[in-house]
Amino acid sequence: MMRSCQKLSELLIGSLSTLPRHTLGFSVGQRCLQNRAFTEPKKNVDPKQQQQREPHQSLRPNPYHYPLPSLPVPPLGQTLAKYFDSLKPFLSDGELKHTKKLLEEFEKPGGEGEKLQGLLEQRAKLHENWLEEWWLQKGYLEYRSPLPVNVSPGIVFPHQSYTNIEGQLRTAAAFVTHIMEFRELINSGQLEPDSMKGKPLCMSQYLKIFGSYRVPGNTHDEIIVGGEKEDPPFIVVMHRNVLFQVPVQHESGEALSQHELFQQLLSVVTQATAHPTVPVGILTSQDRTTWARTHKALAMKCKMNRHHLELVQKSLFVLCLDSPNEALNSGKKKSQLTNSSRQVMHGDGSNANSGNRWFDKTLQLIVGADGVCGWNYEHTLIEGPPLFRMMEYIVKQTGAGSGHQNSHTSASGNNIAKHATEVRAKHMPFELDTPLVELIDSAKDQMDMLVKDVDLEVMDFDSYGKDFIKSRKLSPDSYFQMAIQLAFYR
């Protein structure tokens, strides 16, 4: 049964496989994985059985207990009609005629299509979302291209106005503090559910933001979803390509204060200057099969390497404290928003901050020395809306979007060390041999080629926005996708 259902799923998903990866993620993925509006449920599913069937789901208790419908299975005729329409721009009249004949044969009563449709409907009775597992596998985990640019989107925060490293670290500490507040709102069920037309939407993606990780594999990756609890919870902080384990709460369970987090980050900066800045993290930008082999070699090198790889996996998220990007001061000048977008998308190359990333981690918070801040997130488990909402919460709590000048700008970089005395983050070194260093050098070259291949220019368009597009009964997402295609065609 599973093999036959898989065959039909490939018909459904395969016709989409030629679309850009981001198109798939933000359109079909969002509608399948998030926008299930409130209604009376069609069936009851045993939660314990559901967890066994859906390994990509979080084991953390879901505090949002309201009934949602299962994803419906479209009628076979509707599926085949949409599939045929999608082929029209690409096939000749003769090819379309032949395809139509094949589809008519496939749709005949008692034929293969009817049998497969029945199996698909049978699968839908056992799953809240019959497509999700296949979608994640085919749309993401089997995809072999590098995560940066191809899979992982970036979201830019309002530009920050601090003027030195103390301002950068205090801003980072404030962001982490409010992220932890937002996490507690999620876990306690106090976060108001997302809604559409007054009906609540599925909140399961919020439970997957923290502690999740994509593990590289030779033919397909695996996804680790954040567990019920992280005891004790911690984050990984990267600065000058060096990794550190930083706790976010005391042994008593009390959260670290914003000042205590600032002290931790001071400790990171102080220690990072004393360690080699070999960018181990840039290995995560390799194509997935190459990174799987490198990951295995890195883990087999020594027990310490394995332990530190596990720590990155188990961390709530990665905080990237970026260094100044010297490239911005030379060559062709671009807008601030364009430069910010390049930083959060890929780090702007190995000579900038691309090595100060760990792209396997579901969530990376970027806080740059030049005021550039934002998210970079691995797209498999989550879409943009939960992270936009968390960004809005952070901005509101810190006043970061109002042009607020950070008031903590008195200390210079030379005076940082004397403040970092109360706490000490734990350095996470990796033991490297010559072959691993050569692989890092190769990854740097490949990343630089990938960055060079991206022609990015962000421009403001204020003639109209999503409200006008919606007033014409169009989807802003599809409208923008068509605009991109039209521009490329012309």
| Cα–Cα distance measured from residue 158 to residue 367, given in angstroms and rounded to the nearest whole number | 11
Q: Which residue has the tokens 């919460």?
A: 393
- Which residues in 143-170 are b (16+ Cβ under 10 Å) and which e? bbebbbbebbbbbbbbbbebebbbbbbb
3-state per-residue secondary structure call for 254-304: CECCHHHHHHHHHHHHHHHCCCCCCCHHHHHHCCHHHHHHHHHHHHHHCHH
Angle between helices 165-188 and 384-398 (to 10 degrees): 120
Residue 468 exposure: Cα atoms within 13 Å on the Cβ side: 6
H/E stretch holding 235 reads strand 234-239
For every residue of 136-158, DSSP letters joined together read HIIIIIT--S-SBTTTB-EEEPP
Tracing tokens 């099969």 back to the chain, one arrives at: 289
CA dihedral 7, 9, 15, 17 (to 10 degrees): -100
The residues carrying an active-site annotation are 379
Q: How large is the angle between the packed helices 165-188 and 258-272, nearest 10 degrees? A: 130
Please identify which residue in the block is written with the tokens 């959060």. Answer: 344
Q: Which residues contact 158 (CB under 8 A, 6 or more apart)?
A: 373, 395, 400, 401
Contact 295/283 with Cβ under 8 angstroms?
Answer: yes
DSSP letters, 317-352, are -EEEEEPP-GGGGSSS---HHHHHHHHHHHTT-TTT
Nearest-angstrom CA–CA distance, 202 and 193:
8
Cβ pair 357, 322 in contact under 8 A: no
Query: What whole-number distance in Å separates Cα of residue 397 and Cα of residue 369?
Result: 21
